[in-house]
Chains A and B, each alone.
Chain A
Amino acid sequence: MLLPAAALALLAATAPAHAAEDDWKFELEGYYRTRAYIFAGGLFGNKDVKFYDGQEHDARMLVQRLRLQPGVNFQDRAKFFMMADVLDDVVWGDNQSAASTALFAGDPTSTGYGGTTDGQARDTFRLKRAWMEFKVPVGLVRVGRQPSSWGMGLLANSGDGFDDVVGENHGGSTYDRAIFATKPIAIAQTIAGKEPADIPLFFAIGVDRLVEDPLIQYYGFKCQTANSDGSTIKEGDDNYDARCDPDGEGFHTVEHDFDEDRTDDQRTRTWWIDQDDDVMEMVYALIYRGEGLDIGGSKADLTVGGYMVNRIQDETASKVLIADAYVRFLWKGIYLEGEGLTIQGKTAAIALPGAVDATQTGQTDPDTGLDKALTKNANIWGYVVKGGYQQELYSVIFEHGFASGDDNPADAEFTGRPLHADYNVGLLLYEEVLAHVTAATWSDAASGLWSNGGVYNSRYIYPQATWKPMDGWEVTGAWLMAWPHKPDGSRILCAPDDEVACEEFGATAKSIGWEADLALKHRFHNHVLFSLESAYARTTDRLPYETVGLHFKTTDDGKRVGNFYTLQSRIAYEF
């Protein structure tokens, strides 16, 4: 996942310089950006274009973020970086009643927008990443809490910069990782004295420590001390389990669920020595990054690669394999890019509400030795492909993507996962509407199942056209349409033709809806980025408007549809 950054670093790692020891450089990257949101509460007199039920006026808000990433660079051989977010997606104004009277507020506070801490006070300053990287004779080593990004960012997306047609990055992937990257063929060629000696094929191997000690006491089985009539469960009873009688007293003496939450103050002094509850993963990547290749007399860029992650946790018998392939090709203006991913494996660690298959309770899974009720088979897929034609003045691109869904999150098959929330597709349909639907239906109790704005349980097409009339200016228009993959009846409603086992089949539309985007962008003074983005979306009766409080209108033929409009603007200073 580190590959692009590591690869670039390695490309720069030619012959080491012999500079003086005090040859230090201080570098600063980052940005300050503000973004304004308007969600229409009526558009040109049309009161049916609004977001929330009962919304009478346009909803307006501004948020901001200062991202600082200072670095120390010693002769390009050893570097240290930090990254901090200040006022991270903090809403403008005093929203914590710092002033005794709101009308006379003057000292803004740090109320966050979005995510699980939406509307809550956030740390004004948060150090998110810190890592070092240094060259060794055969490659590059990077160690620390670092960004993770791969390919188009469907799975691992650092969330850095301003890289989408419309929308904003909010999160970003960060891992505690140690990784080594090298150019094996180039090294072999050099040792053998053969040409070419700089073949840009990179290999990386790393290890991530995801968890040292989760605040979850995992048992993998349940214990009750009493039957429903209050009688003690004793040895000889059908439901007697010796594991629930650890002292051999002949009756159940302990009572617990499959797992139980703890608090960090309940940790013992040796909390870190238990290795069974650790979650770690090995990361392997191989990528070819050819630039300026000669194809038919014209220069071409070709990047092809794949990475694989093997994630394990012993006590939950979790063995999950993540595979991701990426390709990018640019030749004579012809542009192709694609990324596909899958997550496969078995785990007993997904104890989200409803993720336990209660029909299997009490039975032992032969592979894991744990209660079958906990065993989940992960079978998740996703991809995005893009193709088009790019010229200096314009580009035309067609994009198609997919994120597999799960029509029954409570069964043993775990098949749904949205694409990364910072891979932005449009401004409304995924980013706002489905994000709201998933958050409202799963509630805070299952925030891990929110889409957070990522492509969710659907296939989509997203053709885009960009025109660059003059230096620093560009105008982009795009059109998004999405169809459900596996409607679950709660977040995406089912239609009769859906091949899923729904309780009700009240929807009629095949698609979830469509969205039209228009963006005007300009960079001035080299460092200041301005963007004005708007979107209009129309959604179908696939969505549970009433349940989640979204506004809808009923058409003449009795169907419920949503109409949404947003106007957003970003201005950012890039360091």
Chain B
Amino acid sequence: MVTNAASFGRSGVHDFIMLRASAVVLACYTVFLVAFAAFSTPLTYEAWHGLFAALPMKVFTLLALIALLIHAWIGIWQVLTDYVKCVSLRGVLQFVFVVTAFAYLASGILIVWGV
């Protein structure tokens, strides 16, 4: 059996479920944002500010950011294990990508809760 200590999930099945679950959250968030931008006319600063000031939207955004972290973590691990065969280089790249994804998550939380 091959282990996957650097991936997000505990096993292939876990990764498989987490990838799809996070994809569903990201798809819903994207569809909602596009629909809001398309149907909220005129799309003013007040409308946009009002949307993100509401608690449900803050929670939804936080969920989407966490889903993005999980999705990117697993996806990057899969891509790197395919294309980067040097283990130390792969470890460094994986570290950089995961830290960047965490930075996006932290920034997102601070920005959204600052509205």
- Does chain A bind chain B? no
